[in-house]
Amino acid sequence: MADMDDLREGVNFGLGQASQLDNFHIKGASNLGWGMKDRLSRIFNPKTGRSVMLAFDHGFIMGPTSGLERIDLNIVPLTEYADCLMCTRGILQSTIPANVNKPVCLRADAGTTILTELNRNVVIDIEDAIRFNVSAMAVMVAAGDGEMEAITISNLTRTADLGNRYGIPVMGVTAVGKQMARDSRYFSLASRVCAENGATIVKTYYCDGFEKVAASCPVPIVIAGGKKLPEKEALELCYNAINDGAAGVDMGRNVFQSEAPAAMIQAIHAVVHNNLTPDQGYEMFLDLSK
């Protein structure tokens, strides 16, 4: 381990300066192979470099939470508006028609449910990811969790090794445990740890100072939505995240728990890809909800 004495926090993030190494439309992907780039390009629109991922993997720890009681009724009709679907193999296999023709970011780790303590000690077989023709695999990293940090980093590293072998990108999902601060210092560390251990996409949370989180992460960041917010606030969250350097969103509850989920995902899409302001996005949401 490096000498921790005089460990200094970063101060020079080159904010406002684009990465000097990228000639591909996805941050940090210039040196990747063709298969990786092709899969990443299915997720991140080559025209905008951005993505609206629809997350509905919550059931793997929460069971049939509100808005996800019936994936066939609640989620399948929304898939046409998403750039990528994030779910488990169980839902993909049982409920998502294979002809929706959307890239999939497969939830690749598992462990416990919300009924017990956070624990992810299982990673699915790479052969399943290949069989499902997924465009990425998602694995959580619990930085700062004494029990789970090493196990989850090892999960990510192993998944990245397998992904590299077959050209499948890995998304590192930064956990937010009860004892972890939800601030830019924590999310910068957790995001960077994911990227350094092989993630080609990072999913984290928006926070004050997010521009530093995005600037110091060498791969694209998508933000989770978190708990359900009023629609206008959720659109503000998307707008601010994109403005501060996120390459997209990976949202669940703020879409499927909305009063009008199809209207909401279309409004989010317009904010992310077409730079609509939150007011314009909200107007669009209201129009489409009628």
Footprint on this chain of ligand R5P (rule: CB under 6 A): 55, 57-58, 61, 86, 173, 224-226, 250-254
Is 187 in contact with 220 (CB distance < 8 Å)? no
Query: Nearer Cβ to ligand R5P, position 188 or 204?
Result: 204
* Paired sense of beta strands 120-123 and 109-111, if any: antiparallel
Which residues are known catalytic residues? 203
User: Residue 79 burial (CB < 10 Å; 0-12/13-18/19+)?
Assistant: middle
Q: How far is the CB of 148 from ligand R5P (least distance, A)?
A: 15
Torsion angle defined by CA atoms of residues 283, 205, 74 and 132, in that order, rounded to the nearest 10 degrees: 130
Q: How far is the CB of 142 from ligand R5P (least distance, A)?
A: 12
**Hey, is 274 helix, strand or coil?**
helix
Residue 251 tokens read as 């949202």
User: Residue 170 burial (CB < 10 Å; 0-12/13-18/19+)?
Assistant: buried
Query: Nearer Cβ to ligand R5P, position 24 or 79?
Result: 79
Query: Nearer Cβ to ligand R5P, position 24 or 260?
Result: 260
Query: Nearer Cβ to ligand R5P, position 237 or 276?
Result: 237
Is 280 in contact with 252 (CB distance < 8 Å)? no
Q: How far is the CB of 138 from ligand R5P (least distance, A)?
A: 7
Q: How far is the CB of 17 from ligand R5P (least distance, A)?
A: 30
